[in-house]
C-alpha cells in the first residue's frame, strides 16, 4: 500500500494545473509526445532525491534507481512504488510498446522496456518534462493540496 492519496485531481485542479504548463510540457504530458533525446534537463541530474509527476506531484522514481542507459532519456530500473505508475499497451507507430502514465493523474511519462539492468531488468524511459525533482531533505510538492502523506514523506534514496 502506498501512503499517498491516489485520488485523481478534480476537474478544477486539472484545469489550473494545465494552465501552469508550458507548450512542451502539455505536448508530452497530455498529448503523449516524446521530447528530443539528450535535451531533457534531468538526463544528467546526479543529485539525490525523488522524481515526481510534473502534473500532479506524485513521487514516481528515486534517484537511487536512476541509471545511464545511453539512450538520451532519463532512465530508471524501478518506480518509487508500483502503485504510482500505470502501464498501458501502446501499439502506435507500428510498434508494440508499454506506455507508462502517472497512476493518479494519467499524464504520459514515457515507456518501459525489458532490457534494463538488474535487479528488475526493467528500463523506465522517461521524458524530463514529465518530471519534477525534489532534492533529498526537501518537502515534496503538494500540488493537489492533499497534505503530507501519513508518516514522514520519504525523499531519501
Distances (CA, A) of 53 to 4, 8, 93, 107: 13, 13, 25, 8
- Who's near 47: CB < 8 A, 6+ residues apart? 63, 133, 135, 136
Output 86 or 117, the one with its CB closest to Zn ion.
Answer: 86
**CA gap 53, 59 in Å, rounded:** 6
Nearer to Zn ion, 9 or 40 (CB): 9
* Minimum gap (Å) between residue 13 Cβ and Zn ion: 11
Q: Which is nearer to Zn ion, 72 or 141 (CB)?
A: 141
The nearest distance, CB 136 to Zn ion, in angstroms, is 21
Residues annotated as catalytic are: 125
Backbone φ and ψ for 151, nearest 5 degrees, come out as: 80, -175
Smallest separation (angstroms) from Zn ion to the CB of 121 = 25
In the complex, minimum distance from the CB of residue 119 to Zn ion, in angstroms, rounded to a whole number:
26
Residues near Zn ion (CB under 5 A) are 53, 55-56, 58, 102, 104-105, 107
The Cα 15–Cα 116 span in angstroms is 36
Nearer Cβ to Zn ion, position 35 or 100?
100
For 38, 49, 107, 148, the CA distances from 152, given in Å and listed in that order, are 34, 14, 26, 8
Amino acid at each position: 500500500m502506498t501512503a499517498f492519496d491516489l485520488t485523481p485531481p478534480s476537474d478544477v485542479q486539472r484545469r489550473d494545473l494545465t494552465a501552469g504548463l508550458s507548450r512542451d510540457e502539455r505536448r508530452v504530458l497530455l498529448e503523449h509526445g516524446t521530447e528530443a533525446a539528450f535535451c531533457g534537463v534531468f538526463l544528467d541530474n546526479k543529485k539525490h532525491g525523488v522524481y515526481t509527476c510534473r502534473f500532479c506531484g506524485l513521487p514516481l522514481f528515486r534517484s537511487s534507481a536512476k541509471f545511464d542507459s545511453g539512450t538520451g532519456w532519463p532512465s530508471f530500473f524501478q518506480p518509487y512504488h508500483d502503485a504510482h505508475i500505470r502501464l498501458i499497451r501502446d501499439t502506435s507507430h507500428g510498434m508494440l510498446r508499454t506506455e507508462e502514465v502517472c497512476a493518479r493523474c494519467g499524464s504520459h511519462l514515457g515507456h518501459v522496456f525489458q532490457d534494463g539492468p538488474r535487479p528488475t531488468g526493467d528500463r523506465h524511459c522517461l521524458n524530463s518534462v514529465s518530471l519534477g525533482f525534489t532534492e533529498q531533505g526537501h518537502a515534496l510538492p503538494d500540488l493537489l493540496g492533499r497534505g503530507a502523506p501519513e508518516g514522514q514523506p520519504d525523499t531519501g534514496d
